[in-house]
Chain A
Amino acid sequence: MLQVLAPFHSNLSGIVSLPLLGSLIILVIPNSRVRLIRGITIWTSLITFLYSLFLWIRLENDTAKFQFVETIRWLPYPNINFYIGIDGISSFFVILTTFLTPIRILVGLYSVKSYEKEYMIAFPVRESFPIAVSCSLDLLIFYVFPESVLIPMFIIIGVRGSRQRKIKAAYRFFLYTLMGSLFMLLAILFISFQTGTTDPQILLTTEFSERRQILLRIALFASFPVKVPMVPVHIRLPEAHVEAPTAGSVTSAGILSKSGTYGFLRFSIPMFPEATLHSTPFIYVPSVIAIIYTSLTTIRQIDLKKIIAYSPVAHMNFVTIGMFSPNIQGIEGSILLMLSHGLVSSAPSSCVGAPYDRHKTRIVKYYGGLVSTMPISSTIFLFFTLANMSLPGTSSFIGEFLILVGAFQRNSLVATLAALGMILGAAYSPWLYNRVVFGNSKPNFILKFSDSNRREVLIFLPFIAGVIRMGVYPEVFLECMHTSVSNLVQHGRFD
């Protein structure tokens, strides 16, 4: 028994299990002690964040090895273990998750009316599983944890969603994701039977025949695009995003969609290099379509949240373009864009969350002239609108720029079309801002005018700091991932 428990005091499993520990503590606290429940949730997530920063400081940059590796034996027989470790790439996803979680909790802190305890318990769970995803060095574990988030998400969308459409959204969210992922399960099982292991580090050294590579990649491919989301299966995200409460949409856009692109990066590209090179058209075409299509779709939406929900689709498809132009610039750009998108896209949903909490409507028509009543909010909103359309000096610009540089080396047509998406993206963001913030105020529709309170402003400060820091001086982030990325590129012999 002690041998089982022994690994838990060390590094990475600590950060995975710390939030779960918090949720277990909440479980035994009675419903009535709301303040205590809130406090424990927030403090758990803050400690986890500090813990992850501490790991980041101790991470060595000049090696592509996985660090803080831990193995806990899971199944004795098919060689599947809880095998976790982080390298330069995955450490960022851990930090992004731990960074966003306290903010998600703070965003929805007082808007919860019913099921508060359950709501709070769900947070640490939804923090710990994505961390486990980014740390996992085992394919099966990588499969299990993104799916595990579905249960709390299903209930949160369904219970705390705002309209009758929520049930449809919850179902869609659940079934789309599962449908794709089960084929990934088949692929994983197949791989594990062929090679006798599901450890991706060993799998990197295994050669699959080319035909098999393509088949396996298609099976894996059935899962990731749903999560990313790419074009034919993208409808899940806007629906869930619109219906989820603010904190839920921060999760789905900021964290969950990253598990798809992270999966591409970690498993699909290095493991099946030939198939990756063959299948770039199958990635490029839907990605470009997604970028242009969703940008155009955004213009005709009237729902505030839906407009913001479509922009992750465009951004994440930028990421896939960068990833599948497998050179160092492309991949680093895509990782940077994922991080920056985690910051940038979470903030507008919170921005929109604030007026929604006040006015209980999301139809753009009813808004207008917010600048005269909510000046602070409007300023923050402007900042993130600009960041969302990748203004130079913000983090998104660096990411998109590197992606375009990478993509030009592979396929200039794709890069050109993707750049078109940037223009279109710039079209809808100011349009939305213009409609909502400027113009005549419409007092007939909006009776309550209260600006952001201190909590809401404080929430945005870390986002703003992160966005500017990354935009002005991205070197801090790039130097951490550089060794790992170049190792990945060399392994696939892409250059």
Chain B
Amino acid sequence: MFEHDFLALFPEIFLINATIISLIYGVVFSTSEKYDYPPLVRNVGWLGLLSVLITILLVAVGSPPAVANLVYNNLIIDNFTYFCQIFLLLSTASTMAMCLDYSKQESSNAFESIVPILFPTRSMLFMISAYDSIAMYLAIELQSLCFYVIAASRRDSEFSAEAGLKYFILGAFSSGILLFGRSMIYGFTGVTNFEELAKIFTGYEITLFGAQSSGIFMGILFIAAGFLFKITAVPFHMWAPDVYEGSPTIVTAFFSIAPKISILANMLRVFIYSFYDPTWQQLFFLCSIASMILGALAAMAQNKVKRLLAYSSIGHVGYLLIGFSRGTIEGIQSLLIGTFIYVLMTVNAFAMVLALRQNRFKYIADLGALAKTNPILAITLSITMFSYAGVPPLAGFCSKFYLFFAALGCGAYSLALIGVVTSVISRFYYIRFVKIMYFDTPETWILYKPMDREKSLLPAITVFFITFFFPYPSPSFLVTHQMALCPCL
């Protein structure tokens, strides 16, 4: 029985080995006197990128079985995990590609900042396939631990240290809440496995008043709060802008891309499969409204790029939670499409931000006259911003359209209405980028160095997707539909 498990876990096993080998390689050679203590970030980065790509191949080749439970029912592999893992690995690969010339730019020689990107990737793979409360919690913790480290990885910057500290405290706090919720559930039901939980919760009404068991209600409440912390939904969002701004940009990019996928996948597994119930839906409903409103209003007053992107990601999480708030198949499908498109756009935006970093690119106003100095970057960035804003023929519109479609389909009219209003408001600050790049003539023109090739591929690919998603969206719709069927059934 176990040898089949090992075969099915081959991508994870490969990734762990590759991580360890690149770690050993880095440690040994960067401290070798013979080679004059070489800077190895680029080498380790390429190794990491290569191993992520091979992992993608391994995942993709082992095409998904119908449903397979692994390791005594602790992990599950089905269509949902299959596509999620591929998508997660792709986004990690894109982050790795952004890292490659980072060391030269920042003149830092910390190859160990690459390895903590590989470690959480593996744990996120486990998060996606987790089928047991304990497995899930362990995977989340492993991921978070690596994140705390890389958030504080720039030791010479006090912003980075502050961000790492804040992230650590709040992340540990939210994990505590999550763990408390888990233990409540375990204490009141006696099981940790999702399948067992699903059996218990079928037809079990966890209403607030007249609850059959307030312990279970509290447990679910705590679990939901813990998750909402992790995805920076609104009442629990306070850490996000500071951490996004303080951490090194490459880390911010990683934070805002990969964990969104894994945590949303995990939430779907937990809340749609095991605790299917209208009670917690109201919670997500409120968080969704609050996130959309705060994301739209707070970003308006920002003038630093990373802070603005942080608030925009909060707003987008609000839109994604629309899909969550009723638990219909369309809702989940729209959530998955939304995540997919959001990640594409964010990869693009952060590749841009990283490419423009040389001259202390910190404020949005630094983009002034980019359309004159670097027209292709300007048009790419403005397409991304229009897409974030949800202007029609671009991918961002498709995601919002489908989210609103799902919201109206399940009768959540207020969500759709607020979504529409906030997305109009949010357009103000997205098109401010375009305005600054095209219309403003600043006093000092900032000239940016050209992008390196690895990084310039990313915006090229993502912009292609963003622009041409609309004419032919059916593959992604079919895939997400297949994915959405898995946790629902």
Contact = CB atoms under 8 A, between A and B. Distances in A.
A147 B473 CA distance: 19
B438 A75 contact: no
Contact of B473 (A74, A118, A151): A74
Contacts of A167: 435, 439
B470 A144 contact: yes
B146 interface: no
A158 to B, nearest CB: 5
A186 B474 contact: no
Contact of B392 (A143, A171, A183): A143
B403 to A, nearest CB: 10
A405 interface: no
Contacts of B446: none
Contacts of B435: 158, 167, 170-171
A75 B424 contact: no
Given A158-B439, A193-B408, A75 B391 contact: no
Q: Which label, helix, strand, loop or mixed, suits the secondary structure of the A interface? A: helix
Contact of A74 (B371, B438, B474): B474
B62 interface: no
A178 B400 CA distance: 14
Interface in A167-196: 167, 170-171, 174-175, 178-179, 182-183, 185-186, 189-190, 192-193
A185 B420 contact: yes
A174 B435 CA distance: 12
A397 interface: no
B427 A175 contact: yes
B417 A186 contact: yes
A77 B420 contact: no
A193 B409 contact: yes
Contact of B431 (A77, A118, A154, A192): A154
Contacts of A140: 401
Contacts of A178: 391, 424, 427
Given A158-B439, A175-B428, A178-B427, A144 B474 contact: no
A78 B470 contact: no
B481 interface: yes
Contact of A189 (B391, B408, B481): B408
B405 A189 contact: yes
Top 9 nearest A-B pairs by Cβ distance?
A147-B392, A148-B393, A144-B392, A182-B420, A158-B439, A189-B405, A148-B392, A193-B409, A189-B408
25 contacts: A74-B472, A74-B473, A75-B473, A77-B481, A118-B375, A118-B379, A143-B392, A144-B393, A145-B392, A147-B393, A151-B391, A158-B435, A158-B438, A158-B439, A166-B439, A171-B431, A171-B435, A174-B427, A178-B391, A182-B420, A183-B420, A185-B404, A186-B417, A189-B401, A190-B408
Interface of A: 4, 73-78, 114-115, 118, 140, 143-145, 147-148, 150-151, 154-155, 158-159, 166-167, 170-171, 174-175, 178-179, 182-183, 185-186, 189-190, 192-193
Interface of B: 371-372, 375, 379, 382, 386, 391-393, 397, 401, 404-405, 408-409, 416-417, 420, 423-424, 427-428, 431, 434-435, 438-439, 470, 472-474, 477-478, 481
